[in-house]
Chain A
Amino acid sequence: MTDFLILGSIAMAATPLVFAALGELVTERAGVLNLGVEGMMLMGAVCGFIAVASGAHWAVGAAAGALAGACLASLFAALVLGFAANQVASGLALTIFGTGLSALVGSNYVGTPVDKIPAVLWGLDPMVFAALAMSAGMAFWLYRTRQGLILRAVGENAEAAHAHGHAVLRVRLLAILFGGAMSGLGGAYLSLAYTPLWAEGMTAGRGWIALALVVFGAWRPGRVLIGAYLFGSVGVLQLHAQSSGLLAVPSEILSMLPYIATIAVLALLTTRRQQSRAPAALGQPFHRLR
């Protein structure tokens, strides 16, 4: 296998993480912690897959995945914005619900084959490039536009942003929906390009790894992108070691690598300085009534 192909497979392993982590980054920058990424990715994966298995173009499938993620995220938004519910508990509820619902919806599609998203350049599909463009665009949007500034203000100090006349709840709603759409897109990429097939719980913790990547990337799009590609390489390294049989290590131990890497990275890199970069109002509900 050439080095070039290895680079390509790293990009493909990283792309779902890039989408999901960028979406969660925007949600968290608005001051909302959504732990439902795993559930939204699964719903995106199953809905995108069903669309394509029913004969739709892959782009329609990707859009269906994004829509499914946003729909699930709207439930979360209703809970944490409408009812001021605990964000941690609501996010867990979203993951549990999304895992169950995706298994129910997709039960007839296990083992169905679909055509992979076709490659356009260097053997890579357009979604890989879309993810790269998205992170560059998001960095610009966050730091160089007025809307990006408002989003960050809402996440740093919701009361102050409200006093300035910004609609805190509307900004947060849009951020949550965007996060859901991006998670759904990441999930759809898994079932349409990376594997490509549908299986129950196929995200295998990638939603949680995406959450860890946001912390690792200090809530900055560029660093999140680098982090996703580093994790992609861990995954590819694992697959190569497994298939080449060069290492006399059981496959289960190699499969643990991404999870061990996540814990190690979180432990080594979440210094106090890193954590001080978290949006100041992260996880705090905002009440207009006060």
Chain B
Amino acid sequence: MLRIEPRPTPSRAMTLAAPLLALALTVATGATLFSALGHDPGAALYHFFVGPISDRYGLAEMGVKAAPLVMIALGLSLGFRAGIWNIGAEGQLIFGAICGGSVALALYPYDGAWVLPLMLVAGVAGGMAWAALPALLRTWRNTSEILTSLMMVYIAVLVLRLLMNDLLRDPDGFSFPESRLLTNGALLPIILSETRLHLGAAFAVLAALLVWILTRHTLIGFQIKVAGLAPNAARYAGFDHNRLIWLTFMISGGLAGLAGVGEVAGPIGQLVPVVSPGYGFTAIIVAFLGRLHPVGIVLAALVIALSYLGGENAQINAGLPLAVTGVFQGLLLFFLLACDVLIQYRIRWRRAP
């Protein structure tokens, strides 16, 4: 019979193989799902995974979608390593977008060289501010940061909708709930001509580098690791857990805010009632798929970005519902968590005793 046995030490090979195995299982399940929905699985998979990136523009689009995912997932990975669960990154993204966008709209039509830096700072500060309440309640009242950070997402969505209907609505815009288009000086420069790939992608790579240095070469990074792997040891060593909670929430909130202002000053170019297709939640999958490691997160973000593009492409070319993207992303996380068992355990054939 099949037996699951604990390994003497966690398997390094399986740590890297599990995401690939999970991807393969997801694709296989996807093909089955497509046939069940009455589509040719081969063609559907082609439209999903190959079609979107078959030209230069498509590849750049993958970068456009991956950039916010990388930034958010990097921040979340720090908390997840330490067992601190900020799952409200979507709200922090939205509030960052509101703050950054408001700066540009308040200064309109001025667009000097310092408008964009000011917007970025406002976006980061907005994300941090939105993350501050869950961190405060967790450290002060020991309230579950999972529930409070999530409730803040719903509030952020409503704040943005309120502002779009009123204060930030385009005065010349026939009462559509949208802001003015941002001036050119308030937009992130394009780094690849004739595409939408903007400076935010460079920020994402830079952030990955900084997070790698933080986790690998600083005391804070070590404390985060110990707090997650051996909470009692961390307490015994006198590591300040509340400080870690604040730190991980401020970093993840700030990065989510940066991702938010990056959307407004990047591909969208104005404030609209919906600034993100759920990047804040999808980044949770990216963080796990990327093994909570900066390099892994960049690769995982590209895969997930492809699933967004694939979903749109398959909707246009194969008539599949757009919701397929969410199902794929959820399935991927399921399979990944199941495959992760192979890191700590091995499966053996044993004759029944």
Interface size class of B (residues with CB under 8 A): 35 or more
CB distance B158 to A92 under 8 Å? no
CB distance A267 to B143 under 8 Å? yes
CB distance A208 to B281 under 8 Å? no
Is A132 among interface residues, defined by CB-CB distance under 8 A?
no
Q: Which residues of B contact A272 (CB under 8 A)?
A: 142
CB distance A90 to B337 under 8 Å? yes
Scan residues 115-172 of chain B and give those whose CB is less than 8 A from a CB of chain A: 133, 137, 141-144, 146-148, 150-152, 154-155, 158-159, 161-162, 165-166
* A250 contact from B85, B165, B338, Cβ within 8 A: B165
Whether A266 contacts B137 in the complex (CB less than 8 A), given A100-B329, A104-B321, A252-B161, comes out as yes
* A252 contact from B146, B158, B282, B325, Cβ within 8 A: B158
CB distance B154 to A259 under 8 Å? yes
In the complex, how many angstroms separate the beta carbon of B19 from the nearest chain A beta carbon? 14
Grouping DSSP codes into helix (H, G, I), strand (E, B) and loop, the A interface class, with mixed when no group exceeds half, is helix
In the complex, how many angstroms separate the beta carbon of B342 from the nearest chain A beta carbon? 9
Q: Which residues of A contact B155 (CB under 8 A)?
A: 256, 259-260
Whether A88 contacts B154 in the complex (CB less than 8 A), given A35-B146, A252-B165, comes out as no
Compute how far the CA of A137 lies from the CA of B85 in the bound complex, rounded to whole angstroms: 34
CB distance B285 to A96 under 8 Å? yes
Which of A97, A255, A289 neighbours the largest number of chain B CB atoms within 10 Å of its CB?
Answer: A97
- The chain A residue sitting closest to B147, CB to CB, is A212
Compute how far the CA of A101 lies from the CA of B323 in the bound complex, rounded to whole angstroms: 7
Interface size class of A (residues with CB under 8 A): 35 or more
Is B324 among interface residues, defined by CB-CB distance under 8 A?
yes
Whether A252 contacts B151 in the complex (CB less than 8 A), given A75-B334, A89-B337, A267-B141, comes out as no
Q: Which residues of A contact B333 (CB under 8 A)?
A: 89, 92-93, 96-97
* A211 contact from B147, B166, B281, B337, Cβ within 8 A: B147
Q: Which residues of A contact B323 (CB under 8 A)?
A: 100-101, 103-104, 107, 200
The 5 closest A-B pairs by CB, nearest first: A100-B326, A97-B330, A103-B323, A252-B162, A83-B341
24 A-B contact pairs sorted by A residue (CB < 8 Å): A35-B146, A79-B337, A85-B338, A89-B337, A90-B334, A92-B87, A93-B285, A96-B281, A96-B282, A97-B327, A99-B326, A100-B328, A103-B326, A204-B154, A205-B150, A208-B147, A208-B150, A252-B165, A256-B159, A259-B154, A263-B137, A263-B151, A266-B137, A266-B148
